Chains A and B, each alone.
Chain A
Amino acid sequence: MTATAIEGLPLTRLEVFWAGLVLPSFAGSGAGFTVREGEVDYLAGLARFMGAASEKAKLGIRLAFLLAVTAPVWLGGRLRGFSSLGAEERSELLDRMSRHRVFFVRELCLLLKLIACMAIFRAPSTRERTGYDRATPGATPHRRKLPVLSHAAAELTEERAA
Chain B
Amino acid sequence: MSRWDDEVDFVIVGTGAGGATAARVLSEAGFSLALVEEGRYLKPEDRPRELVDAMAMAVRGMATLATDSVVPMPLLQGKCVGGSTAINSGIVWRMPEDVRAEWASRWGLTGLVGEAMDDAYATIEDELGVGPTEAPIAGGNNLLMARAATQLGLPGKVIQRNARGCEGNGRCLQGCPVGARQSMEVSYVPRAIERGARLVTDCHVERVLLERGRAVGVRGLVRDASGSRRIEIGARRGVIVAASAIFSPLLLARSGVRHPLLGERFQAHPGAAIVGRFDEDVCMGFGASQGYEVPMRERGYKLEALSLPPDMLAARLPGAGRDWQTRVGELGRYAQWGGVVRMEALGRVRAGLFDGVSVRYEPTRADLAKVRDALLLVGRMMFAAGAKEIYPGIASMPEIVRSEAELVERMPIELARPDVHLVASHLFGTTCASADPSRGVVDEQLAVRGARDLYVMDASVFPTNLGVNPQHSIMGVVWAASKALAAREHARRAA
Chain A contact residues, CB within 8 Å of chain B: 25-28, 30-34, 45, 48-49, 51-57, 59-60, 87-88, 90-92, 94-95, 98-99, 101, 103-104, 106-107, 110-111, 113-122, 124, 127, 129-137, 139-151, 154
Q: Contact at B165–A120, with CB atoms within 8 Å?
A: no
Known A-B contacts A117-B314, A132-B285, A133-B283; the reply to A54 vs B165 at CB < 8 A is no
Interface residue? B405 (CB, 8 A):
no
Identity of the chain A residue whose Cβ is nearest the Cβ of B64 in the assembled complex: A57
The answer for the CA separation of A154 and B125 in the assembled complex, in Å, is 10
- Which residues from B are CB-within-8-Å of A107? 72, 421
Give chain B interface residues in 101-155, CB to chain A under 8 Å.
122-123, 125-126, 129-132, 134, 136-140, 143
* Residues on A with beta carbons closer than 8 Å to the beta carbon of B283: 131-136
Q: Please give 4 more A-B residue pairs, beta carbons under 8 A apart, in addition to A95-B321, A121-B309.
A: A48-B56, A132-B331, A134-B332, A139-B168
Q: How many A-B residue pairs have CB under 8 A?
A: 227
The residue of chain A having its C-beta at the shortest distance from the C-beta of B75 within the complex is: A54
Q: Could you mark each residue 327-339 of chain B with 1 if its beta carbon is under 8 Å from any beta carbon of chain A, else 0? A: 1111111000000
Bound Cα distance from A136 to B135, whole angstroms? 12
Give how many B residues have a beta carbon under 8 Å from the other chain's beta carbons: 73
CB < 8 Å: which of A119, A130, A135, A145 contacts B310?
A130
Contact B140–A136 (Cβ < 8 Å): yes
A117 x B333 contact (CB < 8 A):
no
Say yes or no for B31: interface residue by CB 8 A criterion: no
Measured CA separation A100–B395 after assembly (Å): 9
Question: Smallest CB–CB gap between B447 and chain A, Å?
Answer: 30
Is B165 a contact partner of A146 (Cβ separation < 8 A)? yes
- Contact in complex: B61, A25 (CB < 8 Å): no
Interface residues of B in 415-436 (CB under 8 A from A): 418, 421
Cβ of A120 and Cβ of B168 under 8 Å apart?
Answer: no
Docked-complex contact B328 and A33, CB < 8 angstroms:
yes
Q: Is the CB of B326 within 8 A of A51?
A: no
In the complex, are the beta carbons of A92 and B421 less than 8 A apart? Answer: no
Residue pair A49, B70 in contact (C-beta under 8 Å): no
Chain B contacts for A48, CB-based, 8 A: 52-53, 56
Asked if A134 and B322 sit within 8 Å, CB to CB, the answer is no
User: For the complex, what is the distance from the CA of A30 to the CA of B65, rounded to whole Å?
Assistant: 36
The residue in A52, A91, A107 that gathers the most chain B C-beta atoms within 10 A of its C-beta is A52
Q: Which residues of B contact A151 (CB under 8 A)?
A: 122-123, 126
CA–CA, A51 and B50, complex, Å: 16
Q: Which residues on the B side are within 8 Å of A148 (C-beta)? A: 125-126, 129-131, 164
| Of the residues B130, B137, B311, contact of A118 by C-beta under 8 Å | B311
Q: What is the CB-to-nearest-CB distance from A53 to chain B, in angstroms, rounded to a whole number?
A: 5
Q: Which residues of B contact A51 (CB under 8 A)?
A: 56
Cβ-defined contact, A54 with B312, below 8 A: no
B51 to chain A, nearest CB (A): 6
* B312 with A30: CB separation less than 8 A: no
Taking a contact as CB atoms closer than 8 A, the residue among B134, B285, B319, B325 that contacts A146 in the complex is: B134
